[in-house]
């Protein structure tokens, strides 16, 4: 082998391989560090936006996402957060709806995000199916999400609220009109009255409404909302409405039409009970009652277009929706029954909150069998003198005596070890005890 005279040859065995030894030492150091790190307690993974599939009836193929904070309340409130046209669940979760998320981390409530999947990612508030309770439109899928989350996270049924931006604000109005027995309050940023966007040609856009040219009387708007849930005579959700005065996408006159609709639905005067300016360029009017949780609240933003919400607005929405309030409490009445022991298939818990001549009763139906229930009828007997005036999450007939509660489209299924929660408001003549004698699809249920 030719060798350069100045370099020469070193015998590989004549001295230790210093570089190999150094590499071995470095590898040992890394191994020791890795072992030490593995022994140090690691922080839990932070809460994140999670997609949910197979949540129930979903005729229009919406996506469902849910955010559950690391420290969720024992009986959390639930916010249904509906995105804008062209938006997505992650867009509002990480963008202009972020204040709802940070508040959820602090207050322990759950956020459900419906996500439109059609071209344009707008919600349908226009077609006949979309504007009818359990009609098979987008709102039907949203209510399946609500039912799923209520059962899974032990949600406080009295604190289910909805909020939305633009297309989501229009859906907020529609959901509150169609399911007034489910939602306690809504907050709509740059929306239109429920039913304003109705079309007859299959289009999801109504230029007359968007331009602020569809004007009706308060009674007409109220009747249009009531037609979405025929026969309902109970209370409607409290409503907070926001709009910019220079909005040209969903023109500003829609703000007044929304106020017309909701004051009519609540049967309160269109004349404000109070007017103030919580911030510069804001004008806030309250109707029916005043205070943070007024019956209806309208906030007009001077010189602002279709760009809501803006910084500082969502905390007002959070307070109005009652998301910063503690869970509701009820007086639990345990019913006793006589007769043969109940079967192992179902268990019912009933809680009653009475007042002078009225009450509300919440009933939880648990499937304690190993087989899923697909479609249900719950029969029970009301104490003498009680009469149901309105109900939620089921249809009820008759109003007195032996009553049958039947499932709605979105809560027909009860998986093994799962449950659904229903309820009603009733009058009484002195006996405010809970119902009794519960049977599910003809099978007697345990009570506890």
Catalytic residues: 166
The angle formed by the CA atoms of residues 325, 108 and 290, to the nearest 5 degrees, is 20
Helix (H, G, I), strand (E, B) or coil at 161: strand
Helices and strands of the chain, counted as H and E runs: 9, 23
Which among 229, 315, 298 is positioned nearest to 263, based on CA atoms?
298
Residues in the chain, total:
448
Judge whether 379 and 439 are in contact, CB under 8 Å: yes
* Cβ-based burial of 218 (10 A; exposed 0-12, middle 13-18, buried ≥19): middle
Judge whether 101 and 47 are in contact, CB under 8 Å: no
Q: State how far the Cα of 272 lies from the Cα of 139, in Å rounded to an integer.
A: 31
Neighbouring C-beta atoms of residue 35, cutoff 10 Å: 9
Neighbouring C-beta atoms of residue 19, cutoff 10 Å: 8
Q: Which helix (H) or strand (E) holds 146?
A: helix 138-152
Which residues, other chains included, contact 288 with Cβ-Cβ below 8 Å and sequence gap of 6+?
263, 266, 268, 269, 273, 294, 295, 296
Residue 419: HSE in the Cβ half-sphere, 13 Å Cα cutoff = 19
Neighbouring C-beta atoms of residue 397, cutoff 10 Å: 10
Which residues, other chains included, contact 262 with Cβ-Cβ below 8 Å and sequence gap of 6+?
236, 239, 241, 287, 296
Helix (H, G, I), strand (E, B) or coil at 306: coil
Q: What is the 3-state secondary structure (H, E, C) of 174-192?
A: HHHHHCCCCCCEEEEECCC
Q: State how far the Cα of 382 lies from the Cα of 404, in Å rounded to an integer.
A: 11
Q: State how far the Cα of 168 lies from the Cα of 260, in Å rounded to an integer.
A: 20
Tokens 């009680």 sit at which residue? Answer: 386
What residues pair up with 23 in beta bridges, in sequence order? none
What residues pair up with 114 in beta bridges, in sequence order? 64
């Amino acid at each position: 082998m030719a060798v350069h005279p100045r370099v020469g040859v070193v015998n590989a065995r004549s001295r230790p391989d210093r570089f190999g030894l150094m590499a071995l030492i470095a590898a040992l150091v890394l191994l020791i560090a890795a072992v030490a790190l593995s022994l140090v307690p690691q922080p839990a993974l932070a809460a994140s936006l999670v997609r949910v599939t197979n949540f129930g009836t979903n005729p229009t193929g919406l996506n469902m996402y849910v955010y559950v904070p690391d420290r969720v309340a024992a009986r959390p409130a639930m916010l249904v957060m509906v995105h804008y046209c062209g938006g997505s669940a992650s867009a509002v979760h990480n963008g202009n709806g972020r204040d709802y998320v940070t508040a959820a981390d602090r207050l322990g409530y759950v956020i459900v995000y419906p996500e439109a999947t059609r071209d344009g990612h707008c919600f349908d508030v226009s077609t006949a199916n979309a504007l009818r309770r359990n009609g098979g439109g987008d709102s039907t899928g949203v209510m399946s999400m609500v039912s799923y989350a209520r059962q899974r996270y032990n949600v406080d049924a009295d604190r289910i609220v909805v909020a939305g931006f633009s297309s989501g604000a229009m859906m907020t109005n529609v959901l509150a009109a169609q399911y007034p027995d489910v939602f306690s309050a809504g907050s709509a940023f740059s929306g239109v009255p429920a039913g304003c966007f109705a079309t007859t040609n299959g289009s999801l856009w109504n230029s007359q409404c968007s331009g602020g040219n569809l004007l009706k009387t308060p009674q007409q708007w109220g009747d249009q909302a009531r037609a979405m849930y025929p026969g309902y005579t109970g209370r409607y959700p409290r409503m907070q409405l926001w709009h910019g005065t220079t909005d040209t996408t969903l023109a500003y006159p829609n703000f007044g039409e929304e106020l017309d609709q909701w004051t009519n639905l609540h049967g309160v005067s269109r004349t404000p009970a109070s007017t103030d300016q919580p911030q510069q360029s804001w004008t806030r009017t309250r109707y029916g009652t005043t205070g943070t949780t007024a019956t209806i609240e309208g906030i007009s933003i001077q010189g602002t277009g279709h760009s809501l919400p803006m910084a500082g607005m969502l905390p007002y929405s959070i307070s109005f929706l009652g998301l910063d309030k503690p869970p509701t409490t009820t007086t639990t009445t345990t019913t006793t029954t006589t007769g043969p022991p109940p079967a192992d298939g179902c268990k019912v818990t009933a809680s009653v909150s009475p007042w002078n001549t009225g009450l509300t009763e919440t009933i939880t139906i648990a499937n304690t069998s190993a087989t899923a229930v697909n479609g249900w009828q719950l029969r029970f007997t009301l104490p003498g003198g009680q009469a149901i005036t309105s109900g939620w999450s089921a249809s009820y007939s008759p109003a007195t005596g032996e009553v049958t509660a039947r499932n709605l489209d979105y809560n027909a299924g009860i998986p093994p070890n799962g449950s659904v929660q229903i309820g009603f408001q009733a009058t009484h003549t002195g006996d405010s005890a809970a119902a009794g004698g519960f049977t599910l699809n003809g099978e007697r249920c345990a009570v506890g």
